[in-house]
């Protein structure tokens, strides 16, 4: 914990709503003058902190910016995901940064946010639009004890976690399109790019690259995406406080990561299945050059999708582009 995050945590969690300089000074073991200097710096960043001779410091408002100390101050210290948070104003791609951290041996749980990405990417090198200040573009470093085969579990778990975070912070109820796109009213709100480095039988690290369209308006999307992409703001009609939402996302990701690593993946699967708009539907999945057409039946124990093909065969699909087929006349 840094001093700034301790101060913000104290201001947020103190029941009286205010904390005196003397209290903070004692708790953090630095002078009252040093506390005052930190508060002044936070004010310069946009934090509205009132100082009263009687009540001490009161946090009236926080700016909508991603600030590592602020995010840290909102999380429980027992969390793995988010125990190390770094924020960049602009990067090529947050996955690139986290890959460097991974190679440098940084512990799992490190999270890198960027206010904007110049080369944000989706699966298979596709572009991901990430305009400044409008979304959450971030990557999480994990070092789970899993085989490469079982990394699908993390992909499934990222979807349930993101869906809960959206429900907890907004009035919206996203559906999940396999494996982990969140959809609201049929439009894509978020996507996850899962990258891994492994030996044959065990994973060295996994990087979850997550993009969530938070406060984007229609005009923030390239024209070609407007029919299929949307944001929480467009769908809910109100601006979302990004730091508050970011902290909730990290909290929920931490919960589901622990469900995977502690052997409770079946709970994740149940939740995923209840939110899925893919199961029990006719789907068309593009896997490389191959197209699989059939009925999505369930997830298997590793989170792969089991599809009953037209020929009656059960196919196990671990990735690809799913499209839901229009309901056939005979099904009505």
53/288 with CB nearer a copy of itself? 288
Q: Are 71 and 246 in contact (CB under 8 A)?
A: yes
* CA atoms of 131 and 221, how far apart (whole Å): 9
| Shortest spacing between CB 206 and a copy of itself, in angstroms | 10
Burial 274-308 (b: 16+ CB within 10 A, else e): ebbbbbebbbebeeeeeebebebeebeebbbbbbe
53/125 with CB nearer a copy of itself? 125
237/288 with CB nearer a copy of itself? 288
202/325 with CB nearer a copy of itself? 202
Helix (H, G, I), strand (E, B) or coil at 299: strand
Both tokens assigned to 72: 């840290």
| Shortest spacing between CB 161 and a copy of itself, in angstroms | 17
Q: 125 — alpha (psi -120 to 50), left (phi > 0) or beta?
A: left
Helix (H, G, I), strand (E, B) or coil at 116: strand
126/226 with CB nearer a copy of itself? 126
| Shortest spacing between CB 318 and a copy of itself, in angstroms | 5
| Shortest spacing between CB 124 and a copy of itself, in angstroms | 7
Q: Are 212 and 234 in contact (CB under 8 A)?
A: no
| Shortest spacing between CB 201 and a copy of itself, in angstroms | 2
| Shortest spacing between CB 118 and a copy of itself, in angstroms | 18
Bridge partners (DSSP) of residue 293 are 284
| Shortest spacing between CB 195 and a copy of itself, in angstroms | 6
Q: Are 192 and 209 in contact (CB under 8 A)?
A: yes
77/201 with CB nearer a copy of itself? 201
* CA atoms of 178 and 320, how far apart (whole Å): 9
14/149 with CB nearer a copy of itself? 149
Contacts of 276 (CB under 8 A, 6+ apart): 175, 176, 177, 178
* CA atoms of 190 and 70, how far apart (whole Å): 23
State the residues that interact with a copy of itself by CB under 8 A: 123-124, 145, 147-149, 151-152, 155, 179, 193-202, 204, 287-288, 318-320
**Torsion sign (Cα): 156, 162, 167, 168:** positive
42/296 with CB nearer a copy of itself? 296
| Shortest spacing between CB 178 and a copy of itself, in angstroms | 12
| Shortest spacing between CB 107 and a copy of itself, in angstroms | 16
CA atoms within 13 A on the CB side of 43: 12
* CA atoms of 172 and 73, how far apart (whole Å): 26
DSSP letters, 14-55, are: -TTSEE-HHHHHHHHTS-HHHHHHHHHHHHHHT-EEEEETTT
42/253 with CB nearer a copy of itself? 253
């Amino acid at each position: 914990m840094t001093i700034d995050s301790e101060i913000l945590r104290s201001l947020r969690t103190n029941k009286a709503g205010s904390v005196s300089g003397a209290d903070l000074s004692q708790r953090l073991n630095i002078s009252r003058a040093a506390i005052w200097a930190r508060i002044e710096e936070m004010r310069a960043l946009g934090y509205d902190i009132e100082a009263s001779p009687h009540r001490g410091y009161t946090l009236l408002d926080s700016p909508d910016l991603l600030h590592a100390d602020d995010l840290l101050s909102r999380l429980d210290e027992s969390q793995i995901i988010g125990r190390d948070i770094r924020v960049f104003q602009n990067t090529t791609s947050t996955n690139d940064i986290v890959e460097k951290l991974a190679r440098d041996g940084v512990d799992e749980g490190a999270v890198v946010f960027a206010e904007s990405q110049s080369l944000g990417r989706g699966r298979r090198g596709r572009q991901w639009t990430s305009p400044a200040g409008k979304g959450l573009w971030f990557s999480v470093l994990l070092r789970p004890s899993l085989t490469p085969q079982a990394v699908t579990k993390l992909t499934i778990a990222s979807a349930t976690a993101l869906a809960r975070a959206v429900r907890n912070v907004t009035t919206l109820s996203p559906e999940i399109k396999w494996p982990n796109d969140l959809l609201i009213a049929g439009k894509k709100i978020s996507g996850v790019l899962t990258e891994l480095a492994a030996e044959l039988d065990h994973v060295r690290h996994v990087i979850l690259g997550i993009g969530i369209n938070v406060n984007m308006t229609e005009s923030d999307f390239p024209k070609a995406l407007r029919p299929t992409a949307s944001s929480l703001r467009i769908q809910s009609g109100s601006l979302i406080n990004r730091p508050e939402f970011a902290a909730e996302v990290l909290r929920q990701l931490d919960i589901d990561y622990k469900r995977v690593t502690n052997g409770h993946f079946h709970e994740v699967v149940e939740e995923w299945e209840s939110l899925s708009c893919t199961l029990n539907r006719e789907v068309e999945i593009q896997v490389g050059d191959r197209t699989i057409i059939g009925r999505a039946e369930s997830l298997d124990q590793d989170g792969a999708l089991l599809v009953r093909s037209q020929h009656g065969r059960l196919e196990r699909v671990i990735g690809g582009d799913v499209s839901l087929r229009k309901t056939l006349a005979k099904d009505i």
